[in-house]
Amino acid sequence: MLSNQQFAELAKKGKDQASERKFTQSVEVILTLKEVDPKKTDLNVNEIVYLPHPTKKQAKICFIGSGDLALRAKAAKADLVMDPSKLENYGGSKRDAKKLARSYDFFLADTALMPRIGKVLGQALGPKGKIPTPVPPNASVEGMITRMRTAVRVRSRGSLGIMAKAGDSTLTEPQLVENMLAVVNAVAKKLPNGDKNIKTIMVKTTMGKPAKQAVD
| pLDDT for 42 | 61
Residue 18, SS3 per DSSP: coil
| pLDDT for 65 | 97
28 contacts: CB under 8 Å, gap ≥ 6: 163, 164, 165, 166, 203, 204, 205, 206
* Residues of the chain above pLDDT 70, percent: 99
The pairing of strands 198-205 and 26-33 is antiparallel
Separation CA 1–CA 38 (nearest Å) = 21
Q: Distances in Å between the alpha carbon of 185 and those of 64, 75, 77?
A: 31, 33, 30
Kindly tell me if the per-residue pLDDT of 150 is higher than 90.
Answer: yes
8 against 71, higher pLDDT: 71
Angle of CA points 216, 156, 197, to nearest 5°: 20
Q: What is this structure's pTM?
A: 0.85
Mean pLDDT of the chain: 91
Q: How many CB atoms lie within 10 A of CB 185?
A: 13
Separation CA 105–CA 153 (nearest Å) = 8
Digit-coded pLDDT (tens) for 160-170? 889 999 999 88
| pLDDT for 51 | 95
| pLDDT for 41 | 60
| pLDDT for 7 | 87
Q: Which is nearest to 61 in space by CA: 122, 124, 120, 143?
A: 143
Q: For the chain, which domains are there?
A: 4-56+152-214 (3.30.190.20), 61-148 (3.40.50.790)
| pLDDT for 20 | 75
| pLDDT for 23 | 82
39 against 94, higher pLDDT: 94
Digit-coded pLDDT (tens) for 135-149? 999 999 999 999 999
Separation CA 177–CA 165 (nearest Å) = 12
Compute the average pLDDT of residues 24-29: 90
Cβ pair 144, 108 in contact under 8 A = yes
